[in-house]
Amino acid sequence: MLYSLCSTLARLLWRVFGDELKIRGLENLPRTGPFFLIANHQSIIDPILVQAHLPRVIYTMAKSTQFASPIMGWLMPRIKSFPVRRFEIDPQAVRFALRRIAEGEGVGIYIEGERSWDGRLQPLRLGTIRLLLKAGVPVIPCTIQGSYDVWPRWARAPRPAPVSITLGPPLRFPRLDDRRSREPAVPVAAETIMAVLRAQLEAAGQPAALKSLPPKRV
């Protein structure tokens, strides 16, 4: 109830104050059944835009500090966000995600683990890759391009800019329940996901703020 109300409100606010929003690949989102939605993270508005504009309910992993204030502590679970403590391995966050998957729901994870400082894709969190391999359900690669121009991590306030959200075809990894078989598959799955996210971001075009930056040194 509150989820759909907040989604409607977010869509309305974007229509009034936002810029163009393109959503590509909605047909790649499963209509029923469990899935992981794996996204890049350019801005605080990413989960709001994604949850507001996708037709399926997405349970989204969010850092635990976002639940700290009484208002957010009340609101966040009601808009299907669940906490993860990022400074230690958080088995409850993993259990929560796997339970939602077992119930046939969609779970969203921003796989870089934090917002990008400069809008560019960061290394992926290997713990999340392990979770994907443990679950063995379809993985929807989702890229959000342009939200860095709207509200970068270092800015105090947002400004209008075009944003595009792209959902790629589902990636399918085998379910690897035991650690021994899972560990060798982690780097391979990470490379696959990284390559897909990078390709989708490049296809969507670079955010305006990044065009003047030199290529990233790795």
Partner 1 sequence: GESAPVEVTTAVEARFQLGAAPIRPGRVFYGHIERLGPPRRGRLTLRAGEVMFQPLEGEERRWPLDALTALQSSSGTLQIKPRREGVVSFRFPDSSVRLWEEVLRASIRRFYRSAGKGEVLEFQPRIVLR
Query: Which residues here bind partner 1, judged by CB under 8 A?
Result: 63-65, 67-68, 73-74, 76-78, 82-90, 92-93, 96, 113-114, 117, 123, 125-127, 154
d(CA 142, CA 146): 13
* 3-class DSSP state of 178: coil
Taking the least distance from each CB to partner 1, the nearer of 100 and 166 is 100
The CA distance from 103 to 105, in Å, is 6
Rank residues 89 and 188 by Cβ distance to partner 1 and give the closer one: 89
Q: How far is the CB of 84 from partner 1 (least distance, A)?
A: 7
In the complex, what is the shortest distance from the CB of residue 28 to partner 1, in angstroms, rounded to a whole number?
A: 28
For residue 76, the SS3 value is helix
**Comparison of 82 and 173: residue with beta carbon closer to partner 1:** 82
Nearer to partner 1 by Cβ, of 28 and 118: the residue is 118
CB of 1 to partner 1, least distance (A): 12
Q: How far apart are CA 175 and CA 116, in angstroms?
A: 30
**Cβ-proximal residues to 68 (8 Å cutoff; 6+ apart), any chain:** none
Radius of gyration in angstroms for the set of CA atoms belonging to the chain, rounded to a whole number: 17
Minimum distance, C-beta of residue 50 to partner 1, in the bound complex (Å): 19
